[in-house]
Amino acid sequence: MKHYTSINDIDNIDSWIKEAKALKKDPLKHKALGANKTLGLLFFNSSLRTRLSTQKAALNLGMDPIVMNVSGDAWGIEFGDGTVMNGNTAEHIKEAAAVVSQYCDIIAVRAFPTLTDKAKDQSEHVLNAFKAYASVPVVNMESATGHPLQGLTDAITISEHKKVSKPKVVLSWAPHLRALPHAVANSFTQAMQKMDVEFVIANPEGYNLSPEITKDTPIYHNQEEAFKDADFVYTKNWSSFDHYGQVKNTDPNWMITKNKLGNAKFMHCLPVRRNVVVEDAVLDTDSSIVIQQANNRTYAAQLVLKKILEHV
């Protein structure tokens, strides 16, 4: 594997999950692998879990992480081809990506979507520019349309917590006041489609994810119906894809409650707004496995970095 920028880069999710579990049991086993190698973590946006867990993963492999908040620490980056750069951007991605490749053995990038320019976001222009112009492997730490480190984490977590061989997994939209990206929902959907689970999506009308992502996954507009006999309810808000980036619905009836959940386990990528997305009674009980899920971020990242280091 050269880059890891999408769930599609996972060749065999079952063997990846197995490897990640082995890493989790013995996280320092491959400490020599990354010796004298640097991981550059470039953040165009805020991050807590990704920032910490990816550094931890790098340290477990003996790598030196170097963190940079691109927006605050460096220069405005230009992505346009042929631009006359007489505006606010001071450095072109062609130079930026090539230059960072001189100092870092792997580049990890977080760059959220605009949520206003659908074509630009769908083109993954930031991530793909890094892939095009960096001379080293690129890892997606959440891009415009995907968050594959999270999706891999979620697959590992479901594998660990499932009590039946083929659990029913529901991805449920939940209300939120702000316009949020589709990245987590997309990568989770793609991960579930690769696993041996019964997977359905629940979201209000007008909130279907991109059909290129959902493919033939059943989509319910009735949450109760979707949740029936669920083993896992993965919750996430996203803004409308059809009315791109708009908040058309904040219906509190879609909030996740203990009552709705029944015996299902609650999952969320975090951060989560309590009593808006999900009620306290879920998060504060054993129904929730969000912290165990967050813990797996380390091993998902570590597996990805290990595979890249072994390939280099």
Residues binding its own copies (CB under 8 A): 28, 31, 36, 38, 40, 43, 46-49, 51-53, 55-56, 59-60, 64, 66, 68-69, 72-75, 78, 82-86, 90-92, 94-96, 98-100, 102-104, 177, 270-276, 280, 283-284, 290-291, 294-295, 297-298
Q: Which is nearer to its own copies, 167 or 245 (CB)?
A: 245
Q: Number of H helices and number of E strands within the chain?
A: 13, 11
DSSP SS3 for 270: coil
Cβ closest to its own copies, residue 75 vs residue 220: 75
Q: Dump strand ranges (E) for 11-154.
A: 38-43, 64-69, 77-78, 91-92, 106-110, 138-140
Closer CB to its own copies, 51 or 118, in the complex: 51
Q: Report in angstroms how near the CB of residue 48 gets to its own copies at its nearest.
A: 4
Least distance (Å) between residue 95 CB and its own copies: 6
Closer to its own copies by CB, 200 or 290: give it: 290
Question: How many angstroms separate the CA atoms of 195 and 92, rounded?
Answer: 40
- What minimum distance in Å lies between the beta carbon of 193 and its own copies? 27
Give the three-class secondary structure for 108: strand
Q: Give the residue with the Cβ less far from its own copies, 54 or 186.
A: 54
At 145, phi and psi to the nearest 5?
A: -120, 0
Closest CB 8 distance from its own copies, rounded Å: 27
DSSP summary character for residue 208: P
Contact predicate 31/4, CB 8 Å: no
| Cβ-based nearer residue to its own copies, 104 or 144 | 104
Residue with tokens 């890891």: 4
Nearest approach, Cβ of residue 122 and its own copies (Å): 25
Token look-up 């939940």 returns 174
The token pair at 4 is 């890891």
Q: Is 200 helix (H, G, I), strand (E, B) or coil?
A: strand
Q: Find, among 110, 24, 48, 53, the residue nearest to 301 by Cα.
A: 53
Minimum CB distance to its own copies, residue 159 (Å): 18
The closest of 290, 231, 235 to 264, measured between CA atoms, is 231
